[in-house]
Chain A
Amino acid sequence: MSENLSRTPLYAFHVANGARMVPFAGWEMPVQYTGILEEHLAVRRTAGLFDVSHMGECRVTGKDAAVFLDRVMTNTMATIPVGMARYTILCQPDGGCVDDLIVYRLGPEEFLICLNASNAPKDIAWLRAQVGSSQVKIADECAQWGQLALQGPAAEAILASLTSVKLDSIKRFAFVVTTVANVSDCIISRTGYTGSPGFEIYLPAASATKVAEAILAAGKPHGLLLTGLGARDSLRLEAGYPLYGHEISEVISPIQAGLGWTVKFSKPEFIGREALKKQADGALSSSVVLFSLADRRIARQGTPVFAGDAKVGEVLSGTHSPLLNKPIGTALISSDALAKGNLTVDIRGNRIPLEISAEPFVK
């Protein structure tokens, strides 16, 4: 594997637990341990533990922190209560996405932002470039944090044995700073990227292995499996969550991606507002849809979408849904063609009808 890849603090843990390591977004990450299907179903039925330490973090502090974030993010930031998190998009002036993020409010003038691994340096540079005369400081904390995602119906019971915090008091998108497995200064947040209940745990990088070992041991009796990026992708697609570079990107806006709920036009000003408003008011050339196929062939990224013989779009993500036992995916399709319907994908010469789903396959 290339010597330029970064390794998370859990690299040795992955290797010791039989992970198959692959390059992902500049990192050497576990794609699977026992098998993607088995790991996927463990998250839906019991629990799975993911290393997501490749994700980046930065801390925004200062007198103007909330106002500054409201100016750069599409969602409202000043109204986030301390102890709560909010999903938002960071947009370019033309409405394209710099990244999608989760912003945690640690204090009145203090925010921790979770960044996509491949975008972290770009995001931090982007944020710093927007500071101007605002009284804010932006600290790159990517190297000091590890991140675990403990997801599945048994996640709460497993984590309860490792912390004194009352987990049922942490509502969705709430978090607490606490001790986990005798490691202090961890953040437990009721968030996730799987469509199953669970938590994400931010922890000091140096203690990541200790906490992962403790969760693995506590989780074994509940049927917890170590889970890799393969299952993470099929889980997030069943839940309809976007992945940067696929459903959202510098050329696919949050409005196109069906994330209009994260764009708050009630704010008088934020980067991208004008362009996004035009799209929201009807000038949308194409949009992202979720689909399934009544077939066994998977329509993977780049597979063309047709209306008759005219190419009208392209698949953005595609996988096998273990829950539905059929292929699912997302596609960017022209608005005209979407209005008319009767769309197909062409997989190796086979024309297969696209069954568009208005709702995620898992809620």
Chain B
Amino acid sequence: MSSLPSDLRYTKDHEWLRLENDGTATIGITDHAQAALGDVTFVDLPKVGATFAEHAVFGTVESVKAASDLYCPVAGTIIGVNAELNGSPDLVNREPYTGAWMIRIKLDNAAAAQALLTADQYKQLL
């Protein structure tokens, strides 16, 4: 398994979050999550403008084996979704931390990201 990027925050549900310079955040799922799911065939993502509470289901990732809910690590409004995943859902398996980002979100509360797990804390769960 590849090492965990130290500039990201993590959840116990195996999502990652990167806080961007403009105060928004980018969200995806971890390498551990994609490995557990196996070959991803579809990622069901929300529409721009949708709002989610912390820990609300914002989408579904579907693999050959199972469909798994995606949980929003922080409350906020969707400002972008990764359209690439529509045509290439296998990006989730190949580039979980880069090409397979899933949503961009405007946080309701910028400090919320600080409550998420650090790479070291997340590593303890694996």
A interface residues, Cβ below 8 angstroms from B: 31-32, 35-38, 230, 234, 296-298, 300, 319-320, 348
* Chain B window 25-46, contacts with chain A (Cβ cutoff 8 Å), 1 for yes, 0 for no: 0000000000000110110100
- State whether B44 touches A297 (Cβ < 8 A): yes
Q: A296-B42, A297-B44 are in contact. Are A37 and B67 (CB under 8 A)?
A: no
Q: Is residue B65 within 8 Å, beta carbon to beta carbon, of the partner chain?
A: yes
List 17 A–B pairs whose Cβ atoms lie within 8 Å, in order of A's numbering: A31-B65, A35-B39, A36-B39, A36-B65, A37-B39, A296-B62, A297-B42, A297-B62, A297-B67, A298-B41, A298-B42, A300-B67, A319-B64, A320-B64, A348-B44, A348-B60, A348-B67
Cα distance, A112 to B22, chains bound together (Å) = 71
CB-CB under 8 A from B67, the residues of chain A are 297-298, 300, 348
- State whether B42 touches A37 (Cβ < 8 A): no
From residue 63 to 95 of chain B, which have CB atoms closer than 8 A to chain A? 64-67, 89, 93
Cα distance, A234 to B63, chains bound together (Å) = 12
- State whether B62 touches A37 (Cβ < 8 A): no
- State whether A298 touches B38 (Cβ < 8 A): no
* A32, A230, A298 — most chain B CB neighbours (10 Å): A298
* Chain B window 51-62, contacts with chain A (Cβ cutoff 8 Å), 1 for yes, 0 for no: 000000000101
- State whether A320 touches B38 (Cβ < 8 A): no
Cα distance, A296 to B42, chains bound together (Å) = 6
Cα distance, A36 to B62, chains bound together (Å) = 14
- State whether A230 touches B42 (Cβ < 8 A): no
CB-CB under 8 A from B38, the residues of chain A are 32, 35-36, 230
Cα distance, A230 to B38, chains bound together (Å) = 10
Q: A32-B38, A230-B38 are in contact. Are A37 and B64 (CB under 8 A)?
A: yes
Q: Which of B41, B65, B89 contacts A230 (CB 8 A)?
A: B65
Residue of B nearest to A22 (CB): B65
Cα distance, A350 to B66, chains bound together (Å) = 17
- State whether A296 touches B65 (Cβ < 8 A): no
CB-CB under 8 A from A300, the residues of chain B are 66-67
CB-CB under 8 A from A348, the residues of chain B are 44, 60, 67
- State whether B44 touches A234 (Cβ < 8 A): no
Cα distance, A36 to B93, chains bound together (Å) = 12
- State whether B60 touches A320 (Cβ < 8 A): no
CB-CB under 8 A from A296, the residues of chain B are 41-42, 44, 62, 89
- State whether B64 touches A36 (Cβ < 8 A): yes
Residue of A nearest to B42 (CB): A296
Cα distance, A94 to B67, chains bound together (Å) = 36
Distance from A33 Cβ to chain B, minimum over Cβ atoms (Å): 11
Distance from A302 Cβ to chain B, minimum over Cβ atoms (Å): 12
Distance from A254 Cβ to chain B, minimum over Cβ atoms (Å): 28
Residue of A nearest to B43 (CB): A296
Distance from A297 Cβ to chain B, minimum over Cβ atoms (Å): 6
Residue of A nearest to B57 (CB): A348
Cα distance, A230 to B39, chains bound together (Å) = 11
CB-CB under 8 A from B42, the residues of chain A are 296-298
Distance from A124 Cβ to chain B, minimum over Cβ atoms (Å): 32
Cα distance, A320 to B67, chains bound together (Å) = 11
Q: Which of A31, A32, A38, A320 contacts B41 (CB 8 A)?
A: A320
